[in-house]
Amino acid sequence: MLFNSLEFLVFFFVVSVGYFLLPHRGRWLHLLLASCYFYMAFIPIYILILGFTIVIDYLAGILIERAQGRRRRAFLIVSLCANIGVLAVFKYLHFLNANLTLLFGALRLRYPIPDLDIILPIGLSFHTFQAMSYTIEVYRGNQKAERNFGLYALYVMFYPQLVAGPIERPQNLLHQLREEHRFDYDRVTDGLKLMMLGFFKKVVVADRLAAIVDAVYNQPVGHSSASLVVATVFFAFQIYADFAGYSDIAIGAAQVLGIRLMVNFRQPYFACNIAEFWQRWHISLSTWFRDYLYIPLGGNRLGPWRRYSNLLVVFLVSGLWHGASWTYVVWGGLNGLFLVLGVWTAGIQEQALNAVGLRAGGRGSILFHRLFTFGLACLAWVFFRARSFHDATWVLTHLFSDPGSFAHPRQLLKPGGLGVPAIDLAGAALGIAALLAIDTVCERRDMLAVVRRQPAWRRWAIYYAFGFATVFLGRFGGAQFIYFQF
Amino acid sequence: MKRFALKSLLFCFPFAAVFGLPLLILRRSGELVAVNDVIQRQMGSSPVLYGQAYSNPVKAYKLRSVKRRDSAVVALGSSRTMQLREGFFVDPGQFYNAGGAVSAVWDFRNFLGLIGTRSRVKVLLLCLDQWFFNPARPVAWGTGLEEFLADDPALNIIQRNWLSVYRDLVSHKIDFRRLLIDGPRSDVGLNAVLHANGFRNDGSYFYGAAITNPDSPENLDRGFRDTLSRISSGTRRFEWSDVLAQKAIDEVDLLLGDCHDRGITVVGFLPPFAPTVRRAMVESGRYGYMSRIEPALRPSFDRYQFPLFDFTDPATLVATDSEFIDGFHGSERTYARLLLRLASGSPELERHINRTRLVEQLAHAGRFNVEIR
Is 70 exceeded by the pLDDT of residue A482? no
Separation between Cα atoms, residue B27 and residue A308, nearest integer Å: 58
From the list A20, A464, A477, the residue facing B156 with the nearest CB is: A477
pLDDT confidence of A409, banded at 50, 70, 90? Answer: confident
State whether residue B32 sits within 8 Å of chain A by CB.
yes
Q: Give B2-363's CATH code, choosing from 3.40.50.1110, 3.20.20.70, 1.10.260.40, 3.40.605.10.
A: 3.40.50.1110
Mean pLDDT value across residues B251-277: 96
**Which pLDDT tens digit goes with each residue over B283-334?**
999 999 999 999 999 999 999 999 999 999 999 999 999 999 999 999 999 9
State whether residue B13 sits within 8 Å of chain A by CB.
no
**Which pLDDT tens digit goes with each residue over A346-382?**
888 878 878 877 777 788 888 888 999 999 999 999 9
State whether residue B14 sits within 8 Å of chain A by CB.
yes
pLDDT, residue A486, reads 57
Q: Which residues of B touch A118 (CB under 8 A)?
A: none
Q: Using the beta-carbon criterion (under 8 Å), do B159 and A476 form an inter-chain contact?
A: yes
Q: Using the beta-carbon criterion (under 8 Å), do A471 and B152 form an inter-chain contact?
A: no
pLDDT confidence of A144, banded at 50, 70, 90? Answer: very high
Separation between Cα atoms, residue A52 and residue A67, nearest integer Å: 22
pLDDT confidence of B49, banded at 50, 70, 90? Answer: very high
Q: Using the beta-carbon criterion (under 8 Å), do B15 and A472 form an inter-chain contact?
A: no
pLDDT confidence of A166, banded at 50, 70, 90? Answer: very high
pLDDT, residue B189, reads 93
pLDDT confidence of B336, banded at 50, 70, 90? Answer: very high
Is 60 exceeded by the pLDDT of residue A402? yes
Q: What mean pLDDT is reported for chain B?
A: 91
One-character DSSP codes across A229-248: HHHHHHHHHHHHHHHHHHHH
**Which pLDDT tens digit goes with each residue over A172-202?**
999 999 999 999 999 999 999 999 999 999 9
For the CA atoms of A240, A244, A245, A251, what is the dihedral angle to 10 degrees?
180
Is 70 exceeded by the pLDDT of residue A485? no
CA B4 to chain A, closest CA, distance in angstroms equals 7
Between A51-65, A144-158, A293-307, B94-108, the lowest mean confidence (pLDDT) is in: A293-307
Between A52-61, A281-290, B223-232, B363-372, the lowest mean confidence (pLDDT) is in: B363-372
Is 70 exceeded by the pLDDT of residue A267? yes
Q: Which residues of B touch A476 (CB under 8 A)?
A: 153, 155-156, 158-159
Q: Which residues of B touch A475 (CB under 8 A)?
A: 156
Among A127, A223, A282, A322, the active-site one is A322
ipTM value for the complex: 0.71
Q: Using the beta-carbon criterion (under 8 Å), do A185 and B155 form an inter-chain contact?
A: no
pLDDT, residue B119, reads 86
Mean pLDDT value across residues A471-484: 72
Q: pLDDT > 90: what percent of chain A? A: 60
Q: Using the beta-carbon criterion (under 8 Å), do A467 and B19 form an inter-chain contact?
A: no
State whether residue B140 sits within 8 Å of chain A by CB.
no
Separation between Cα atoms, residue B199 and residue B202, nearest integer Å: 8
Q: Using the beta-carbon criterion (under 8 Å), do A478 and B152 form an inter-chain contact?
A: yes
pLDDT, residue A345, reads 84
pLDDT confidence of A115, banded at 50, 70, 90? Answer: confident
pLDDT confidence of B121, banded at 50, 70, 90? Answer: very high
Q: B180 Cβ partners below 8 Å, 6+ apart?
A: B24, B25, B28
User: Which residue type is seen at A171?
Assistant: Q
What's the sign of the alpha-carbon dihedral B53, B58, B60, B65? positive
pLDDT, residue A310, reads 92
Separation between Cα atoms, residue A380 and residue B67, nearest integer Å: 39
Is 60 exceeded by the pLDDT of residue B59? yes
3-state DSSP assignment of residue A269: helix
Q: CB atoms < 10 A from the CB of B154, how many?
A: 22
Is 90 exceeded by the pLDDT of residue A165? no
Separation between Cα atoms, residue A359 and residue A351, nearest integer Å: 10
pLDDT confidence of A455, banded at 50, 70, 90? Answer: very high
pLDDT, residue A170, reads 95
State whether residue B17 sits within 8 Å of chain A by CB.
no
Is 90 exceeded by the pLDDT of residue A121? no
pLDDT, residue B65, reads 96
State whether residue B147 sits within 8 Å of chain A by CB.
no
Are the CB atoms for A420 and A212 separated by under 8 Å? yes
**Which pLDDT tens digit goes with each residue over A305-325?**
888 999 999 999 999 999 888
Which of B106, B118, B116, B187 shows the shortest CA–CA distance to B147?
A: B106
Beta strands B265-270; B123-127: pairing state? parallel
Q: Is A24 a catalytic residue?
A: no
Is 90 exceeded by the pLDDT of residue A332? yes
Which of A378, A415, A423, A419 shows the shortest CA–CA distance to A400?
A: A378
Q: A72 Cβ partners below 8 Å, 6+ apart?
A: A64, A139
Q: Using the beta-carbon criterion (under 8 Å), do A474 and B159 form an inter-chain contact?
A: yes
3-state DSSP assignment of residue B268: strand
Mean pLDDT value across residues A432-460: 92
Q: Which residues of B touch A183 (CB under 8 A)?
A: 1, 4
Q: Which residues of B touch A2 (CB under 8 A)?
A: 153
Q: Using the beta-carbon criterion (under 8 Å), do B155 and A464 form an inter-chain contact?
A: no
Return the residue of B nearest to A478 by Cα.
Answer: B153
User: What stretches of B187-236 show up as alpha helix (H) in DSSP?
Assistant: 190-195, 208-212, 225-233
Q: Write the CA distances from A367 to A3, A359, A437, A445, B214, integer angstroms.
A: 35, 11, 16, 20, 70
Between A103-107, A203-207, A245-249, B53-57, the lowest mean confidence (pLDDT) is in: A103-107
CB-side neighbour CA atoms (13 Å) of A165: 31
pLDDT, residue A357, reads 77
Mean pLDDT value across residues A269-284: 94
Measured CB to CB, residues of chain A less than 8 Å from chain B are 2, 4-7, 20, 183, 185, 188-189, 460, 463-464, 467, 471-472, 474-478
Chain centroid to Cα A103, Å, comes to 32
Between A112-126, A376-390, B240-254, the lowest mean confidence (pLDDT) is in: A112-126
Q: Which residues of A touch B19 (CB under 8 A)?
A: 471
pLDDT, residue B222, reads 80
**Which pLDDT tens digit goes with each residue over A57-110?**
999 999 999 998 889 999 999 999 999 999 988 888 888 888 888 888 888 888
User: What stretches of A141-264 show up as alpha helix (H) in DSSP?
Assistant: 149-157, 170-178, 185-199, 207-217, 225-256
